[in-house]
Chains A and B, each alone.
Chain A
Amino acid sequence: MSEKNIIKIKDPILSIQNLSVAYDKNNYAVKDVSVEVKKNTVTAIMGPSGCGKSTLLRALNRMHELYENIETKGTVLLNGQDIYKLPTIRVRRMTGMVFQRPNPFPTMSIYDNVIAGYKLNGIRLKKSEKDEIVERSLRDVVLWEEVKDSLFKKGTFLSGGQQQRLCIARALAFGPEVILLDEPTSALDPVATSKVEDLLTKLKENYTIILVTHNMAQAARISDYSLFMYLGELVEYDKTKNMFTNPQDKRTEEYLTGKFG
């Protein structure tokens, strides 16, 4: 076990220690994973289908607890705080999540979608504060110029790529520590995908990004660190450059060279 290639990070913003998650008793989807994530980087989670990527990601804001009978062991420290000892609502407000398919709230305007985190949580803001948050978040996701004249139209009228950027803006508006994205471009066309990728590389200046992706080229393009999972286990964790040029584990190498996946 100790010969696994798992690098250490100095002053991590997120520290996952011996995390295991089971959907049913003793049927672990994530097995004893320990990873530290560096602030202001993009970290990619890779691995074949069903290896536990989404489960690991969702365990970081406790969204996996939506399923009944879920069992979680281990510790996750976000900024030094154990998220499993905090109220779930607080954990989820400290993190932003973006899903595979764009899911703006269909009853809300673009404007309201961006500040949905405030509105739905009953946090009252002045009009000027709201305007400022909406503009800043939409500028952050490079959507402002495209929608500034139609802020009060329904978000569902936008194209798929625009909707996904709107969902990222919604996740940013609350000022999260970490943004968790689960295959955010798998439902998008290549142009929209590259826009989202550009955006993520830009966003890491202010945020820490953890990205689940099936797309190795995408991981190579935009991530600083990569972790490779296989059957619920963390196989390898390294700087993306090292991982792609010189994988230490045979399974990583086989996956990266397309032998399975």
Chain B
Amino acid sequence: MNALHQIDTSKRRLLKDRIFYWLVIAMAGLTISPIVLIISKLIAKGYKQISFEFIIRNTPDTYEAMTAISNNELIPGGIANGITGTLLMVVLAAIIAIPVGIITGIYLYENQGKRLANLTRNISDIIQGVPSIVLGLIAYLWIVKNVTNGYSALAGSVSLSIMMLPMIIRSTEETLKMIPQTLKEAGLALGVPYYKVILKILVPTGFSGLLTGILLAISRVMGETAPLMLTALGSSVINLNISEPTSAIPLLIWEFYNDPNMVDLIWSSSLLLMGIVLLLNIVSKQIAAKRK
């Protein structure tokens, strides 16, 4: 009787283990499946359009696209204007956000527990939660209205740089916190001035951590559309003048969506954007893994 009872419970436990095991697998599958579905869909629908042409030529007009479709041909042209625009604005945003973010991160690290530092950290966290379109609105008021007197790449970059800031600030502070205090002491004991200890010892030691944060921030803003609608607006040709309206890959995707003749270009543009973002993510993960 007693023995039977024991067998029973162990069987039941075995069953429970099994159920739990398959539940975990199912949940993991559920998490991964959207990504797999998205990527396979993008590849299936977009691969045909991807070519060298696609990267070096500007977007076609709707008439060209319509003719091509009625002749059962690939839509001509590409998204060179979007690629260059995205590059221009992201690089400019990084140039603004990296120094400001790193210096702020250093400031927070150096002033743990101080009131102004805590306030700064909280504000940075709040910015992280602000909807990106609101950041676009802010850049519109600051830059479009007052600086460039019209839609411009600069305005787009400013909105993206505000988005990047909190991520860079956070990763800088966290990275510096992980560096052993004793390295700082070693530097100071050699008579090295404080700011040089930070710039020449701590920052290089945490370099890969900072780089990871920057790359993640870049890949995060690369796909932003909403703030660019209010700031960079878009352009059908390549523009490298930061005070002029400029296109970007996500802006083009939105435009293609609104033009029945261009819908086919959505997939190839998204595939390219997704590919770049994924690559940045993988590179930054790789760097982060190397550190450990």
Chain A residues at the B interface, C-beta cutoff of 8 Å: 61, 63, 66, 88-93, 95-97, 99, 101, 103, 105-107, 116-117, 120-122, 167, 170-171, 174
Contact = CB atoms under 8 A, between A and B. Distances in A.
B204 interface: yes
Contact of B190 (A90, A107, A174): A174
Interface of B: 180, 182-183, 185-193, 196-197, 200-201, 204-205, 207
Contacts of A122: 196
A63 B188 contact: yes
A59 to B, nearest CB: 13
Contacts, number: 67
B201 A120 contact: yes
A63 B197 CA distance: 14
Nearest to A117: B190
A170 B182 contact: no
Nearest to B206: A107
Contacts of A174: 190-191
Given A103-B182, A106-B205, A120 B189 contact: no
Nearest to A61: B189
Contacts of B189: 61, 63, 92, 95-97, 171
Contacts of B182: 99, 101, 103
A99 B190 contact: no
Nearest to B192: A120
Given A105-B201, A105-B205, A107-B207, A99 B191 contact: no
A105 B203 CA distance: 12
A95 B191 CA distance: 9
Contacts of B192: 89, 117, 120-121
Contacts of A167: 186
Contacts of A61: 189
Nearest to B197: A120
A47 to B, nearest CB: 22
B180 A170 contact: no
A87 B182 CA distance: 22
Contacts of A117: 190-192
A154 to B, nearest CB: 12
Contacts of A91: 191
A103 B182 CA distance: 7
B191 A90 contact: yes
Given A120-B196, A120-B200, A103 B188 contact: no
Contacts of A105: 183, 186-187, 201, 205
Contacts of B205: 105-107
11 contacts: A66-B188, A92-B188, A97-B189, A103-B185, A103-B186, A106-B183, A107-B207, A120-B190, A121-B190, A121-B191, A167-B186
Contacts of B180: 103
B204 A107 contact: yes
A167 B201 CA distance: 15
Contacts of A101: 182
B146 to A, nearest CB: 41
Contacts of B204: 107
A61 B190 CA distance: 10
Q: 10 closest pairs, A vs B, by CB?
A: A93-B191, A92-B191, A97-B189, A117-B190, A120-B192, A103-B182, A107-B204, A103-B186, A89-B191, A120-B200
A30 B196 CA distance: 31
A183 B200 CA distance: 27
A90 B191 CA distance: 7
Contacts of B200: 120
B109 to A, nearest CB: 14
A92 B207 contact: no
Contacts of B188: 63, 66, 92
Nearest to A174: B190
Nearest to B196: A120
Given A93-B190, A103-B185, A174-B190, 14 more contacts: A89-B191, A90-B191, A92-B189, A92-B190, A93-B191, A99-B182, A105-B186, A105-B187, A105-B205, A107-B204, A120-B196, A120-B197, A121-B190, A174-B191
B209 to A, nearest CB: 12
A170 B191 contact: no
A78 to B, nearest CB: 13
